[in-house]
């Protein structure tokens, strides 16, 4: 065996702790935690070893640029760079890591770099990554931005000129809910080397290089200019601390004893083995990716922890031609992948098949930040039944090397005997996993591995499969076959009987049939299996084997299997790079330079987002602050009998407990209605409902205290679904109605006679909910002052609501409650009405304890407590005449409202008035029902019911066209609104730009050619199909509640000429403050640099409407304009008198002449609402509508249900854009959020109402990998809007529904497969009208060669599964 030699640094004599005294902390080299942060030395002599690095950075060092978004390593907001010396080679290694998973003692002897070290706005010094990300408009809310910056920075520290592929990989594990990823990738791709070897920044200043729209002449205007950016210079970075190098900290034994945990970090294998003998059940951690989550949310105790990462012998690696590749388990998965890549270069291609498959699978294993710290030992020893790699080790015959002090070293093949039960292996408790031996493959031996997950990148597997087949070259018979699966049993398994069926047989169709039959029989999963989807998982297992079968036939050129030429891998044509165009109308040459309106200026906080200087609620340091954590219900319906907090109150650090007895009698939260308990008094109404509040000296102590509270409650049967509510007659309020005939018949409804229609189509559509997944969870801090005054900083979209609810529940006048917010880390409607759920309890505690109290919800709790997008069911009946024109529609909208009103009435109202989308329905009858269920109250979400209504309409249009044999696009065009039309509920559409957007999108996307190309592709490919689709949208702008259509603003001019603007809108990433500054610039005639907006606060602007309904810039902009008009009127005479005076001189003179330099502005927009009680249509309920059309092209894997979004083209009507960069960013972000809603995001709730999807591990939003690499947005030209500020249009919500275009494209791809392979089933496709096309739901619509096997085996066992929807 060729052993990697020790370097000069690591060949120094290692001091081993004395035998049998290795658990004596005092005998270690050091008990002082030493590390560096941003070049500064940090020493800790007493700290909880398991405190996370993120907590330490934020709470102890006050480096708040590092954000916490989930505390389970699933979002990347907490990404930092860690630098260390390799204990074997002495080389310095830089890597990104999730600081929310990293234990603080895990950075002993290392250097940590956070976003603060790179650059800052204050000093005018930005790092190249920060500068380019800000210039490409790559941040919106900004909460995720420091994590993206650090991910890219870490890559550049190792690879100053990376490839696009390396950049894509570096982004794994970082999520953004705002941008749609396109501008982030544009910024980072500018660092890449092109195929020519040159850097990609060109003279155009665009990171897209030659693909820039300016080069190709495809765009108008320049959204991004990187021409002034300096090249990245790696010589200016922080060096690795010399002290750590001189002291060889990577070779030193380190231990720390704390009250709750003793941390051992030996540097010698002998010490590690002794520790394992003395403490056989101690937890051994490396990456801590699983244990951190377990400790955080299951509150497990860890008295002893052993970290083996500095053991020199565990970093060895070697290549032995006879045995294979030896990889010690101190290597991270990333290091292991690097070694595999090096050895593959030294081997023949046929020898390295297992290594190649390991490399491929590694790409899909968690995220890059996890792979940088996770170890292969942890993956094997934790024995996850859905491991990505264990099936490959099992199929390839990989050997694991174990060692104990008592018995020495032994080797075990990872086979059917290795995993003995759920999360159990044959590894003895005193053994460590020392290394693995990956065998090399021989000629005619073929290894493949496959994985299917809800999301391709950074997601746990649904099923993994690995296969190894060795053929006899002459007879083409099978010498041996190994088939292994994860996700098909409580352990990783070998399909022994199926393997036996294949052994010795000729590799042909009969082998496939025999093996498949055996797999189908032996792998059947029972009903109620953990993880669900039993039939889909079996189908995946069979499909994976079929893919392997075809791949082996292709490699061996077995002509008797002609299908071997078929490719079963989708997305092969997707470029690593990005092709995009953002076209908009440039400002006229005559516009004054100081006039900022219409310019694509960056977000005013964009640079601060990239540097971590942007302050959010959780970043504010409040002295003497206490922390609250909720005690929540474990089930969805029941009676609270008693609650005992005595154990919690005895815990050190716990200060107090509050429950319903501390709330004023009758005080409840809720808009007007007041139907939401602050804390449960008696009746438990949803899983996660707050029962009480523990207040402690820090966040973690409060959480552990809350977990210690004993709750005695009686469970009742829960009402969970719409169907449950209908059966129980459980409704929030009386039904809502719209009857279009009442407008024409003096308020009398004319009931339709459906018997007179010849062409009637009926059906049902279901649409699920959606989690907001804003990166910043709900949080607030309440500071009590004298006279019961309260200062509240909250992450909210409506400061007035927080003020109102706190005042109402505590009996304090609103003039004593100041609520403010500078910015929030995403909202999407989820913080419009729900912020009081945290603010009221915190205020109660703060008033009673006379100390500041902060509540910060964990993602796990936020997703349970705060509500989601409303699920809907639509029962419809539609009539069409012989010319294909819509005649009549009768539709029932059934909404799952949750347990209280919240905003559900407004949501169903908007849903009902968006049922037309862009089509003229001459006659419509709509009924809306609000179903009351035992779920968290569903609430506002971007679109506010509109997307649900429009999805119903587009599904209906598709159903009608297919059932009546019409072309869907022609059917749409026949029924589209013409200009100056009127909706069925009474609103004028003047002008109506639906057809303009539609026609332009057809042109921009080259729709008809793309459609033909997809058809050609489908003829040439059996198991891959493509689909294209066009989807239009019309979204009406305005609050449905009339009195909310008002806004106030305060404009203050100071004597130095600077201007301070205050308005009632919240900045949540939509660029509202940026647009308001641009509006003020034009109104006052001054440069935007003179204008500042500080925060939104109730003591500046009272009674502000929520920042919602896409009305932020419309209402607040008009209010600012009104205030500026007043100021201009006062200054008019002075301007005439001093025409040449500077602004500063003008203001100074006005002050000296005692002219008021402050003005309060006010604005309203009209609203004549529908009478939903009687059903009578209204007048002009909304001021105007926004129109758009999207084109999507997708490719699906017909064997697994996986899909890729290949291409998206959007044309959007935004009027005269106030800021094209912000508007295009909103369009891209909304589209990707909508794409997630309609394809992968799935809220999972048990039949008893217990929520299962409570974090990024179980709930998947799109990642950068999911964003289309062909992604273009075009703003409709010549569309001025007379009903809004400076002819602009709102843009926050309207584009979201366009994400459904991907769903309809997927549906067309499914139809293409069914028409070719199963033509008799094509019409059945029209019956499929669920809103989410996850991989399992796609697969269910793709009948294939294995359906018979799946159905027969489930029929025999009578285990058909019926999904429960909400």
**Distance, CA of 1105 to chain centre:** 28
pLDDT of residue 339: 96
Q: Is 261 helix (H, G, I), strand (E, B) or coil?
A: coil
pLDDT of residue 1018: 96
Distance from C-alpha of 159 to C-alpha of 1242, rounded to nearest angstrom: 37
Distance from C-alpha of 508 to C-alpha of 549, rounded to nearest angstrom: 9
Q: Is 534 helix (H, G, I), strand (E, B) or coil?
A: helix
Residue of 1218, 1240, 1239 lying closest to 1292 (CA atoms): 1218
Instruction: Locate 89 and state its tokens.
Output: 């080679």
pLDDT of residue 240: 96
pLDDT of residue 17: 65
DSSP state of 435: E
Nearest 10 degrees: Cα torsion 903, 904, 909, 913: 100
930-958 burial, b for 16+ CB within 10 Å, e for fewer? bbbbbbbbbbbbbbbbbbbbbbbbbbbbb
The parts of the chain modelled with pLDDT lower than 50 are 1-13, 202-208, 214-219, 1319-1328, 1354-1366
Residue of 490, 903, 603 lying closest to 732 (CA atoms): 903
Long-range contacts formed by 474-482: CB under 8 A, 24+ apart: 475/506, 476/506, 476/507, 476/508, 476/556, 476/558, 477/504, 477/505, 477/506, 477/507, 478/502, 478/503, 478/504, 478/505, 478/506, 478/507, 478/511, 479/503, 481/515, 482/394, 482/395, 482/396, 482/397
DSSP state of 382: T
Angle at 873 between CA 868 and CA 879, to 5 degrees: 140
Please report the sign of the dihedral spanned by the C-alpha atoms of residue 696, residue 702, residue 708, residue 711: positive
Q: Say if CB 242 and CB 85 are below 8 A apart.
A: no
Residue of 656, 1098, 617, 1094 lying closest to 838 (CA atoms): 617
Distance from C-alpha of 181 to C-alpha of 189, rounded to nearest angstrom: 12
pLDDT of residue 1327: 44
Q: Give the position of tokens 């000129």.
A: 161
DSSP state of 1174: T
pLDDT of residue 223: 87
Nearest 10 degrees: Cα torsion 775, 777, 778, 781: -100
1285-1318 burial, b for 16+ CB within 10 Å, e for fewer? bbbbbbbbbbbbbbbbbbbbbbbbbbbbbbeebe
Q: Say if CB 548 and CB 485 are below 8 A apart.
A: no
Query: DSSP 3-state helix, strand, coil percentages of the chain (rounded to 5)?
Result: 35, 20, 45
Cis bond before residue 991 (omega within 30° of 0) = yes
Distance from C-alpha of 626 to C-alpha of 607, rounded to nearest angstrom: 32
543 φ/ψ angles, rounded to the nearest 5 degrees: -65, -40
Q: Is 1354 helix (H, G, I), strand (E, B) or coil?
A: helix
> Is 357 an active-site residue?
no
Other CB atoms within a 10 A radius of the CB of residue 514 amount to 14
The catalytically annotated residue of 169, 457, 1193, 1293 is 1293
- Antiparallel, parallel or unpaired: β 1046-1053 and 1158-1164: antiparallel
451 φ/ψ angles, rounded to the nearest 5 degrees: -145, 140
906-to-940, 1151, 1335 alpha-carbon distances in Å: 9, 47, 33
Element of type H or E holding 1032? strand 1024-1037
Q: Is 60 helix (H, G, I), strand (E, B) or coil?
A: helix
């Amino acid at each position: 065996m060729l052993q990697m030699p020790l370097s000069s640094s690591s060949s120094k004599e290692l001091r081993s702790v004395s035998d049998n005294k290795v658990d004596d902390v005092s005998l270690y080299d050091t008990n002082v935690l030493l590390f560096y942060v941003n070049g500064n030395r940090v020493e800790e002599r007493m700290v909880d070893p398991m405190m996370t690095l993120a907590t330490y950075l934020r709470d102890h060092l006050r480096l708040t640029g590092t954000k916490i978004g989930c505390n389970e390593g699933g979002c990347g907001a907490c990404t930092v760079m860690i630098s260390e010396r390799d204990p074997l080679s002495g080389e310095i290694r830089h890597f990104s890591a999730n600081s929310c998973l990293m234990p603080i003692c895990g950075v002993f002897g290392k250097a940590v770099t956070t976003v603060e070290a790179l650059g800052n706005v204050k000093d005018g010094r930005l790092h190249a990554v920060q500068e380019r990300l800000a210039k490409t408009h790559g941040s919106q809310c900004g909460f995720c931005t420091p994590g993206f910056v650090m991910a890219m920075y870490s890559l550049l520290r190792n690879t100053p000129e990376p490839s696009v592929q390396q950049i894509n990989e570096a982004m794994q594990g970082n999520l953004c809910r705002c941008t749609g990823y396109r501008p982030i990738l544009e910024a980072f791709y500018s660092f890449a080397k092109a195929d020519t070897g040159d850097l990609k920044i060109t003279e155009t200043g665009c990171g897209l290089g030659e693909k820039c729209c300016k080069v190709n002449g495809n765009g108008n205007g320049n959204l991004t200019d990187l021409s002034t950016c300096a090249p990245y210079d790696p010589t200016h970075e922080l060096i690795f601390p010399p002290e750590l190098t001189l002291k060889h900290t990577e070779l030193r034994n380190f231990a720390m004893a704390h009250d709750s945990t003793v941390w051992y970090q030996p540097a010698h294998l002998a010490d590690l083995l002794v520790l394992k003998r003395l403490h056989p059940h101690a937890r051994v951690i490396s990456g801590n990716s699983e244990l951190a989550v377990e400790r955080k949310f299951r509150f497990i105790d860890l008295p002893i922890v052993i970290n083996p990462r500095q053991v020199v012998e565990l970093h060895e690696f070697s290549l032995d031609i006879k045995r294979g590749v030896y990889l010690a388990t101190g290597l991270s998965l990333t290091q292991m992948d690097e070694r595999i890549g090096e050895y593959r270069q030294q081997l023949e291609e046929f020898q390295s098949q297992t290594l190649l498959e390991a490399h491929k699978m590694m790409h899909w294993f968690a995220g890059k930040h996890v792979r940088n710290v996770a170890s292969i030992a942890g993956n094997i020893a934790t024995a996850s039944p859905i491991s990505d790699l264990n099936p490959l080790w099992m199929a390839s015959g990989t050997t694991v090397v174990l060692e104990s002090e008592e018995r020495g070293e032994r080797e075990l093949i990872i086979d059917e005997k290795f995993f003995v039960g759920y999360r159990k292996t044959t590894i003895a408790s005193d053994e460590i996993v020392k290394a693995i031996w990956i065998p090399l493959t021989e000629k005619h031996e073929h290894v493949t591995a496959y994985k299917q997950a809800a999301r391709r990148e950074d997601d746990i597997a649904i099923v993994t499969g690995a296969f190894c087949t060795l053929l006899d070259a002459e007879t083409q018979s099978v010498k041996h076959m190994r088939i292994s699966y994860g996700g098909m049993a409580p352990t990783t398994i070998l399909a022994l009987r199926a393997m036996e069926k294949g052994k010795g047989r000729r590799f042909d169709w009969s082998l496939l049939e025999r093996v498949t039959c055996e797999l189908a029989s032996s792998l059947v999963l029972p009903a109620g299996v953990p993880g669900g989807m039993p039939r889909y998982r079996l189908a995946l297992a069979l499909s994976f084997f079929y893919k392997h079968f075809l791949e082996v036939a292709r490699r061996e050129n077995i002509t008797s299997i002609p299908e071997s030429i078929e490719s079963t891998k989708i997305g092969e044509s997707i470029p690593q790079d990005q092709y995009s165009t953002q076209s908009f109308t440039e400002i006229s040459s005559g516009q004054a330079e100081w006039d900022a309106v219409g310019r694509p200026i960056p977000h005013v906080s964009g640079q601060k987002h990239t540097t971590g200087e942007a302050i959010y609620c959780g970043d504010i340091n409040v002295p003497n602050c206490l922390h609250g954590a909720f005690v929540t219900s474990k089930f969805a319906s029941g009676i609270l009998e008693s609650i005992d907090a005595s154990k919690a109150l005895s815990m050190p650090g716990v200060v107090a407990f509050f429950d319903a007895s501390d709330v004023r009698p009758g005080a409840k939260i809720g808009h007007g209605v007041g139907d939401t308990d602050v804390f449960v008094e008696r009746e438990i109404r949803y899983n996660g409902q707050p029962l009480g509040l523990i207040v402690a000296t820090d966040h973690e102590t409060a959480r552990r205290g809350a977990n210690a509270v004993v709750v005695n409650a009686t469970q009742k049967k829960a009402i969970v679904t719409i169907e449950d509510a209908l059966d129980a007659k459980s409704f929030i309020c009386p039904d809502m109605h719209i009857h279009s005939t009442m407008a024409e018949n003096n308020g009398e409804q004319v009931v339709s006679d459906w018997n007179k229609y010849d062409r009637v189509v009926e059906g049902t559509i279901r649409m699920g909910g959606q989690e907001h997944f804003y990166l910043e969870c709900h949080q607030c801090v309440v500071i009590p002052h004298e006279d019961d005054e309260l200062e509240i900083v909250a992450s909210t979209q409506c400061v007035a609501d927080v003020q109102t609810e706190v005042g109402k529940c505590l009996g304090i006048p609103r003039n004593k409650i100041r609520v403010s917010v500078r910015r929030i880390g995403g909202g999407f409607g989820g913080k419009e009405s729900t912020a009081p759920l945290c603010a009221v309890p915190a205020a109660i505690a703060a008033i009673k304890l006379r100390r500041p109290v902060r509540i910060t919800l964990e993602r796990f709790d936020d997703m349970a407590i705060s509500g989601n997008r409303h699920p809907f069911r639509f029962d419809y009946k539609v009539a069409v005449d012989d010319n294909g024109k819509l005649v009549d529609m009768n539709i029932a909208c059934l909404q799952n409202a949750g347990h209280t009103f919240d905003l559900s009435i407004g949501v169903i109202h908007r849903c009902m008035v968006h049922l037309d989308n862009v089509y003229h329905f001459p006659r419509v009858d709509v009924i809306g029902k609000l179903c009351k269920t035992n779920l968290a109250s569903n609430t506002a979400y971007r679109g506010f019911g509109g997307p649900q209504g429009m999805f119903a309409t587009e599904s209906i249009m598709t159903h009608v066209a297919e059932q009546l044999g019409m072309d869907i696009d022609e059917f749409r065009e026949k029924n589209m609104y013409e200009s100056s039309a009127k909706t069925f509920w009474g609103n004028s559409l003047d002008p109506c730009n639906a057809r303009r957007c539609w026609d332009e999108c057809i042109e921009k996307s080259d729709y008809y050619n793309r459609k033909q190309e997809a058809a050609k592709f489908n003829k040439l490919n059996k198991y891959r199909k493509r689909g294209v689709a066009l989807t239009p949208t019309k979204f009406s702008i305005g609050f449905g509640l009339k009195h909310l259509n008002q806004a106030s603003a305060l404009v203050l001019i100071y004597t130095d000429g600077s201007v301070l603007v205050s308005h009632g809108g919240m900045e949540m990433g939509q660029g509202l403050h940026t647009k308001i500054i641009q509006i003020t610039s034009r109104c006052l005639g001054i440069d935007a640099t003179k204008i500042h907006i500080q925060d939104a606060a109730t003591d500046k602007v009272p009674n502000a409407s929520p920042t919602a309904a896409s009305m932020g810039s419309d209402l607040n902009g008009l209010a600012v304009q009104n205030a500026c008009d007043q100021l201009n009127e006062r200054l008019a005479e002075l301007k005439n008198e001093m025409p040449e005076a500077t602004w500063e001189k003008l203001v100074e003179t006005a002050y000296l002449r005692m002219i008021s330099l402050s003005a309060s502005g006010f604005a309203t927009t009209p609203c004549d609402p529908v009478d939903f009680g009687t059903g009578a249509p209204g007048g002009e309920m909304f001021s105007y509508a926004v129109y758009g059309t999207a084109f999507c092209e997708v490719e699906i894997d017909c064997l697994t249900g996986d899909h890729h979004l290949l291409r998206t083209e959007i044309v959007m009507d935004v009027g005269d854009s106030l800021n094209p960069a912000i508007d295009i960013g909103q369009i891209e972000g909304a589209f990707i959020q909508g794409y997630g809603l309609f394809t992968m995001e799935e809220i999972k709730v048990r039949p008893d109402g217990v929520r299962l999807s409570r974090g990024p591990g179980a709930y998947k939003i799109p990642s950068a990998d999911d964003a289309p690499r062909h992604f273009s947005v075009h703003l409709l030209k010549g569309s001025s809007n007379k009903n809004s500020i400076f002819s602009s249009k709102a843009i926050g919500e309207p584009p979201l529904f366009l994400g459904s275009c991907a769903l309809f494209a997927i549906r067309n791809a499914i139809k293409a497969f069914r028409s070719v392979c199963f033509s008799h089933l094509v019409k059945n496709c029209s019956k499929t009208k669920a809103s989410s096309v996850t991989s399992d739901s796609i697969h269910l619509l793709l009948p294939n060669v294995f359906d018979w096997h799946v159905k027969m085996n489930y029929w025999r066992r009578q285990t058909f599964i019926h999904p429960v929807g909400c």
